[in-house]
Amino acid sequence: AQSVTQPDIHITVSEGASLELRCNYSYGATPYLFWYVQSPGQGLQLLLKYFSGDTLVQGIKGFEAEFKRSQSSFNLRKPSVHWSDAAEYFCAVGANNAGNMLTFGGGTRLMVKP
Amino acid sequence: KAGVTQTPRYLIKTRGQQVTLSCSPISGHRSVSWYQQTPGQGLQFLFEYFSETQRNKGNFPGRFSGRQFSNSRSEMNVSTLELGDSALYLCASSLWGIGGDEQYFGPGTRLTVT
């Protein structure tokens, strides 16, 4: 069965500082990996995805993520955080069959200090 | 292009009642998935529909059911509501509902069971 672990429940960074959110997954084959962001009271917005090919993927809002098969990781990074990035971030793995089920990690809540 | 819409946005029901939630996918998308989000369990997959057929189902009791109409709109129903059903219910749509398809989420329906 697939699973996703986000080891950090809360992270606080200063505005302008760099950010890295950790994600580890377990899946028997090549995974489909996603990062979503959720602002309070909102649904989930897709930041980026990895299917195959280049292991460094670029997303919206200046985010990027790197897929490392040897470490079963898909960490999200941003070089300079803005106050508007404060939100909850979810890593997810998708099954490579029909039915589209995403398995989510527990989420990391990001707080940004001015 | 309009995003995924969900109605109603907020709902308060009494234990034992039933509830129906509605989801309109992005135009052209044929797959609709439903997720439950709670503070304790996080984001959990309920089921997925494609061309009016349920193709995948998560680990939820039979009180949770759904359907999809010919225009791809979907409804989910929860019968005999329990206090633990209080959650944010999120709907996501994608083109084909196959592995790797990008899923776009609606804002959710916040259900409170008293």
| A108 bridge partner residues | A89
What does the H/E/C string look like for B45-68?
EEEEEECCEEEEECCCCCCEEEEE
Summarize the confidence of residues B74-79 as an average pLDDT.
98
Q: How far apart are CA A13 and CA A82, in angstroms?
A: 10
Q: What is the pLDDT of residues A55-68, one digit of tens each?
A: 899 999 999 999 99
Which tokens in the block code for residue A6? Answer: 């986000």
> Does any CB of chain A come closer than 8 Å to the CB of residue B48?
yes
Q: What is the pLDDT of residues B88-108, one digit of tens each?
A: 999 999 998 887 788 999 999
Which tokens in the block code for residue A29? Answer: 């084959």
> Does any CB of chain B come closer than 8 Å to the CB of residue A36?
yes
pLDDT at A100 over 90: no
| Tokens 């099954």, residue located | A95
Question: Distance (Å) from the C-alpha of residue B15 to the closest C-alpha of chain A?
Answer: 24
Which tokens in the block code for residue B58? Answer: 């998560």
> Does any CB of chain B come closer than 8 Å to the CB of residue A104?
yes
Closest by Cβ to B100, choosing from A94, A103, A104: A94
pLDDT at B1 over 70: no
What is the average pLDDT score of chain A? Answer: 93
Question: Distance (Å) from the C-alpha of residue A84 to the closest C-alpha of chain B?
Answer: 18
Distances (CA, A) of B107 to A12, A103, B22, B57: 26, 19, 12, 22
**Nearest residue on chain B to A93, alpha-carbon basis:** B100
